[in-house]
Homo-oligomer: A and B are copies of this chain.
Amino acid sequence: MSYYGPVSDARIPPHPDPRDVPLQQVLEALVDPVRRSILTQLAHAADDVKCGGFDLDVSTSTATHHFKVLREAGLIRQYYVGTSRMNSLRGDEVGKAFPGLLDAIVAAESGRRGQRRGTSSATTRSGRSAKRTPSVA
């Protein structure tokens, strides 16, 4: 199977096989803009990226939550390097379980050749709850 980082780390929760993850769960993971941002950044990165290395507009704890959702959906693999948690896209494995799905998402996210009007990439449509900038405090 060949792992990347340390073969076994007590801090690392188990990673499911993407083929065992229901489509429903994968789509629920993909529907959040922040999580899709993580995936596309990962897809475009040359190397694996540590949790703190992403450009995300949410707090650290929220980011942790999103990483967990992605990991449990079988979309990313995580392993520790020192105190940093590294993330890698499980592109190949996901591709075998859901052919074309992840590619289509990533391509649509960063490209939109079919698009007509704005290429603004302002994907922040609803996002469930905004709560952005809670009027100071």
| A23 contact from B22, B25, B108, B117, Cβ within 8 A | B108
Write out the residue numbers on chain B whose beta carbons fall within 8 Å of the beta carbon of A25. 125
A100 interface neighbour in B22, B30, B107, Cβ under 8 Å: B107
Identical copies of this chain, number: 2
Q: Which of B97, B105, B113, B115 contacts A101 (CB 8 A)?
A: B105
Determine whether A15 belongs to the interface, using a CB cutoff of 8 Å to chain B. no
Q: How far is the CA of A101 from the CA of B101 in the complex (A)?
A: 6
Q: Are A98 and B125 in contact (CB under 8 A)?
A: no
> Which residues on A are within 8 Å of B, measured CB to CB?
17-20, 22-25, 27-28, 30-31, 33, 96-101, 103-105, 107-109, 112-117, 122-127
**What residues of chain B lie closer than 8 Å to A27, measured between beta carbons?**
27, 30-31, 105
Q: Within the assembled complex, what's the spacing in Å between the Cα atoms of A22 and B19?
A: 28
A115 touches B100 (CB 8 A): no
In Å, the complex CA distance between A83 and B25 comes to 37
- Residues of B within 8 Å of A100, CB to CB, are 100-101, 103-104, 107
Q: 6 tightest CB-CB pairs across the interface, nearest first?
A: A100-B104, A101-B104, A24-B125, A97-B114, A100-B100, A19-B116
Chain B residues whose CB sits within 8 angstroms of the CB of A30 once the complex forms: 27, 31
B residues near A105, Cβ cutoff 8 Å? 23, 27, 101
**Chain B residues positioned under 8 Å from A98 (CB to CB):** 104, 108, 114
